[in-house]
Homo-oligomer: A and B are copies of this chain.
Amino acid sequence: MKKISLIGSTGSIGTQTLEVVAAHPDKFEVKALAARQSLDLLVEQALKFRPEMVAILDESLLPQLEQRLSGTGIEALGGMAGVIEAARISSANWLVSSLVGMAGLQPSMAALQSGKDIALANKETLVVAGQLMMEEARQRKLQVLPIDSEHSALFQCFQGQPMDRVERIIITASGGPFRKLPKEELPKLTSAQALKHPTWTMGAKITIDSASLMNKGFEVLEAHHLFGLSLEQVDVWVHPQSIVHSLVEFVDGSVLAQLGPPDMRTPISYALSYPDRWPPIWSRLELKHMKELTFEEPRWDDFPCLKLAFECGKKGGSWCAVLNAANEVAVEQFLQNRILFGDLARVIESTLEAHDPISRPTLEQLIEVDVWAREFASRAAAGTLR
């Protein structure tokens, strides 16, 4: 029986995680749920899955949450402290970490520190604090299992294989909606144009990151930490059909890959059932998906965010915290139509240039760096206001 705390239960990954959990009532107990602000859905989930504790990050919603759960015996908490409580609840042995953004970082760390294994969908946990997190997990002999489709693919390909015989990994990228646009059209594109992702349905932030290839850059950094591989061992291939989710090349030249139609329930299911696998087949790979699979080199120069991620990853320390924070601000500004597509990398680059790096930052220092970078990036973005 897996006893799980699910942080970010009302988002795309959270709701699909609960679908997988609901398919196996004999295998899971939900001990805690937490969400940012989707009160109605959180209450609905709480009444269905009957956790011991529910937390809402937006503390102003706590009184309503308390009221709607009164008489159920379910404890209601609010704010980051409440979400952290939910993440470290003693009755759970697993955290599913799918709260989006920096808000996912502290609950993930708290879960490790309280001895829980983690199924991880929150990117910032590894992008910003990958070194700290993986050290913590290693010392406590805890597992950090990926939920992201690319990392799940890699993790599946590594099973039963000698990790010291990995030559390189190849992370696939859809290439986003602007994959084929001429270079000169890219700078002036707007968020409305970026929000039409060809193959996956995702939140707005990650869809923009997918268009700029920063999402792929983050995935490169996550894989680097999660699997203990150098960045020289990580490659990226554009694969517009999003059927091959990633590949692993071994020292004998053999390549393993994981495939499937785009459906997050498959990697979620694997993270929750690992090392076993459980039915049902959430999405079936059929010949119609395989009619034509193509692969190509990313346009490194035209989509500079991917290169920025590699550069920050190689420098390590606090650099990726700046990369992440500046990108988050830039994407916000882009979504509010205050900057254009070409400004994304420019805002990030100028923030990186102003950064005073810390080589082995603590979690507190990373959070401080994050705050500084957000302020700086906001000013940088304002400088490019229309």
Residues of A in contact with B (beta carbons under 8 Å apart): 156-162, 165, 167, 237, 244, 247, 249-260, 263, 266-267, 269-270, 273, 275-285, 287, 290-297
Contact = CB atoms under 8 A, between A and B. Distances in A.
Nearest to A157: B256
A221 to B, nearest CB: 22
A273 B269 CA distance: 32
B251 A278 contact: yes
18 contacts: A159-B159, A160-B275, A161-B277, A237-B287, A244-B257, A247-B285, A250-B277, A251-B279, A252-B279, A252-B280, A252-B282, A253-B263, A253-B282, A254-B258, A255-B260, A257-B257, A287-B295, A290-B293
Nearest to A261: B253
- The 4 closest A-B CB pairs, nearest first, are A160-B160, A159-B160, A253-B281, A290-B295
Contacts of A291: 294-296
B162 A277 contact: yes
Given A251-B281, A255-B259, A293-B294, 13 more contacts: A159-B161, A160-B275, A251-B278, A252-B278, A253-B260, A255-B285, A256-B257, A256-B258, A256-B259, A257-B257, A287-B297, A292-B294, A293-B293
A156 to B, nearest CB: 6
Contacts of A284: 249, 253
Contacts of A287: 237, 295-297
B160 A256 contact: no
A284 to B, nearest CB: 6
A347 B346 CA distance: 72
Contacts of A297: 287
Contacts of A254: 156, 258, 260, 266-267, 270, 277
A269 B252 contact: yes
Nearest to A284: B253
Given A254-B258, A266-B254, A290-B295, A276 B237 contact: no
A285 B249 contact: yes
A342 B270 CA distance: 47
A161 B162 contact: no
Contact of A258 (B255, B282, B290): B255
